[in-house]
Amino acid sequence: MSIGDLIRLLSDGNYHSGQQLGERLGVSRTAVWKQLKKLEAMNLPLEAVKGRGYRLVNPLDSLDGACIVSRLSAETRHHLKRLFVEDVLDSTNTFLRDRFRHGAGHGEVCLAESQTAGRGRRGKVWSTGWGESLILSLGWRFESGVAALEGLSLAVGVVLANVVGDLGADVALKWPNDVLLAVDDEWQKLAGILLEVTGDVEGPCEVVIGIGLNVSASDAVREAAGQPVGALADVVQAPKRNHVAAALIESLLMMLPEFERQGFGAWRADWNRRHAYAGRSIRIHQGSTSYIAEAVEVDPSGNLIVKTEAGEQALTGGEISIRPE
């Protein structure tokens, strides 16, 4: 019995006795009780009613691989080699990097209910509770080399923003890898993107695209973030993770072959239209220094053009972060 099996049973809205759970899961009532005790530690409070049994106070929308695949077009199914849906991983990106090391990985997607060592850009930790986020990684092999991948993370941002925008959310893009959600006249972080690349500068290379999207967010996650955090559930009624996952996989698998042919130029205008800080004053943190500049746009390579007292300059990523002034 996995903790995921128990959570899925308790998420159907019905009460289940300890005996019923044991019979469904093929374990003793004692084993069920030990697993039930773990749920509150995972911030999944139980409702217990004498004579009726247990259920989760807040039922979860569990990931379902068959449901996701059923919503994909025939063309996308051709590009999708394998879909993994896991309960707990250290990192979906690490999972697919290991797949590449074993000769697989291309066209594969990995989703997880929870991560124990999720990470974001600049070594930051991506923290999320069970079932609160859409944690997704996709592997793709490019024949054209690392040099041809300029702007790929921004193109992924455009795809993600379009998928979320189609749900009715008001979103924008923050260079280089965040999707922001408008809530009460404030931009809040909705999603982050992390690309990990291995391979040659001019030869074949392998990319793992990692996405963390807040579908809901507990108070604990918001407080620990250190910045305003938004979630789809803040603005979209009962968002379905399987539907969002299918739309995102569909869009990414259609975009990647085109990106290899056209480069970032085909997505540049869309990114600039969604630029959260265009024409605004921003503070740029680079290493141990920081300075103020005006954000302009991204160039054909995906660099952020800013205006300073010394004139225009291009920010190229790396250990750079920006904040509105």
Structurally, the chain folds into a number of domains equal to: 3
**pLDDT band at residue 149, thresholds of 50, 70 and 90?**
very high
Q: Is 283 a catalytic residue?
A: no
Print the domain residue range for 108: 65-273
Question: Catalytic pick from 122, 280, 283, 323?
Answer: 323
Q: Is 189 a catalytic residue?
A: yes
3-state helix, strand, coil in the chain (%, to 5): 35, 30, 35
**pTM (whole model) above 0.85:** yes
CATH number at 27 reads 1.10.10.10
| DSSP per residue, 57-121 | SS------HHHHHHTS-HHHHHH--EEEEEEEES-HHHHHHHHHHTT--TTEEEEEEEESS-B-G
Residues 79 and 226 in one domain: yes
Residues 144 and 255 in one domain: yes
Question: Catalytic pick from 119, 174, 189, 241?
Answer: 189
List pLDDT tens digits, range 97-143: 999 999 999 999 999 998 887 655 545 555 567 888 999 999 999 99
Q: Please name the amino acid found at residue 27.
A: V
For residues 128 and 212, the answer to whether their CB atoms sit within 8 Å is yes
CATH number at 305 reads 2.30.30.100
The Cα 162–Cα 43 span in angstroms is 31
Residues 30 and 95 in one domain: no
Q: Is 323 a catalytic residue?
A: yes
Helix (H, G, I), strand (E, B) or coil at 98: helix
Helix (H, G, I), strand (E, B) or coil at 174: strand
Beta strand 178-183 with 171-174: parallel, antiparallel or unpaired? antiparallel
- Is residue 233's pLDDT more than 70? yes
Residues 147 and 181 in one domain: yes
Beta strand 82-89 with 108-115: parallel, antiparallel or unpaired? parallel
Helix (H, G, I), strand (E, B) or coil at 84: strand
pLDDT at 22: 87
**Chain mean pLDDT for the chain:** 89
